[in-house]
Amino acid sequence: MKNSETSAINLPVQLAIKSWTGQVNAINELLKKLSDDDLKKEIAPGKNTGYYLLGHLAAVHDAMLPLLGFGSKQHPGLEKIFISSPDHSGLEFPPLAEIRKIWNDVNETLLKHFNELTTEGWLERHTAVSEADFATQPHRNKLNVLFSRTNHMSYHAGQLVLLKHS
Amino acid sequence: MKNSETSAINLPVQLAIKSWTGQVNAINELLKKLSDDDLKKEIAPGKNTGYYLLGHLAAVHDAMLPLLGFGSKQHPGLEKIFISSPDHSGLEFPPLAEIRKIWNDVNETLLKHFNELTTEGWLERHTAVSEADFATQPHRNKLNVLFSRTNHMSYHAGQLVLLKHS
């Protein structure tokens, strides 16, 4: 972590990025322990598979690129399969090895952009809110997306962990 | 949310508190839909019950009071049952109605303290880190505890939701 006095990112924002990175790392540690066969199982009877949840996380993180103004989605095809549709939709999933790679790549890309944004940049509106709405709702900024997506990751991490062998 | 320009709490910290509150509210909405019988079930075969998880969340939040310098725990007996011991330990659990009440009370107390802390206060060390360590590790502050406990809540929310009737 950079020293807050010499960084363009203030300490609260640095900590928010650290919180995000901590959750990414926790999921990556978990994924090392889960085989493809593990991920193909349901987290609980009748619930989502690990396969779907990892695809869902990758798709949601990919969608953060345009939402935060970092560029286009790298894998736009994921949204239909893993966000608009539920698990067991009948749509064909990309191979798990590919999903694992996309998950890593998109997180690497995001972190690179995160570290280039200043505190002021984090407090700018995200692309899903209009300038007019943002004028009266200044909390609808990029930092808020970071918080929301970090919680989203933790939520699904708590589900993926159920696939681990005890 | 207060306006950041007139508040002693800056916008990133306000957003962090909002993120916490959002997770508390999400769990409360979920708890309205879960009966005591629902909570007594395991989230997945052989895993924790909702009863244990709610007790665990209440105990962890109660322990935030001394950790953040807000005072003593209000329910020190919870730690042994819901933090030091796993589920199915044989220890007697307080009645679920009591756990639900403690959960609400401790969150109300925490939020009151959260809103009284300034940005500088949030960036002070938490009570589990020494002054010497904090001098070289300024991220070990109260705000970091807030992030960590918000993620912890989301993690278990992702598990409690599995008890919901589909």
Regions of chain B where pLDDT drops below 70:
1-7, 166
- pLDDT of residue A7 exceeding 70, the answer is no
User: What local confidence, expressed as pLDDT, does residue A9 receive?
Assistant: 81
Confidence of residue A5 (pLDDT cuts 50, 70, 90): very low
Q: What is the pTM of this model?
A: 0.94
Of B10, B18, B159, the CB nearest to A158: B159
Answer whether A15 sits within 8 Å of B43, measured CB to CB: no
Residues of B in Cβ contact (< 8 Å) with A148: 19, 22
pLDDT of residue A29: 98
Give the mean pLDDT of chain A.
94
State the Cα–Cα distance between residues A52 and A103, nearest whole angstrom.
12
| Binary contact (B157, A158; C-beta < 8 A) | yes
Percent of chain A with pLDDT over 90: 93
pLDDT class of A2 with cuts at 50, 70, 90? very low
**Residue B12 distance to chain A (closest CA, Å):** 6
Cα B58 to Cα B65: distance, rounded to the nearest angstrom: 12
What's the pLDDT score for residue B7?
57
Q: Which has the higher per-residue pLDDT, A10 or A3?
A: A10
* Residues belonging to chain B: 166
First to last CA, chain A: 34
pLDDT score for B5 = 44
Please identify among residues 32-91 of chain B the ones whose CB lies closer than 8 Å to any CB of chain A.
43-47
Residues near A105 by Cβ (< 8 Å), separated by ≥ 6? A74
The C-alpha of B135 sits at a distance from chain A's nearest C-alpha, in angstroms, of 12
Which residues in chain B have Cβ-Cβ distances shorter than 8 Å to A158?
Answer: 154-159
How far is A74 from A55, CA to CA, in rounded Å? 14
pLDDT at A123 (0 to 100): 95
Q: Which residues of B touch A12 (CB under 8 A)?
A: 10, 12-13, 16, 119, 122-123, 143
Tell if the CB–CB gap between A157 and B152 is shorter than 8 Å. Answer: no
Q: Which residues of A touch B46 (CB under 8 A)?
A: 166
C-alpha span between A21 and A65 (Å, rounded): 16
Q: Does A157 touch chain B (CB under 8 A)?
A: yes
Q: Which of A100, A107, A114, A103 is nearest to A142 (CA)?
A: A114
**CA nearest A58: which of A83, A30, A86?**
A83
Chain A residues with beta carbon closer than 8 angstroms to that of B22: 148, 151
pLDDT of residue A166: 65
Q: Tell me the shortest Cα–Cα distance from B154 to chain A, in angstroms.
A: 5
Tens-place pLDDT, residues A102-148: 999 999 999 999 999 999 999 999 999 999 999 999 999 999 999 99
Between B7 and A55, residue with greater pLDDT: A55
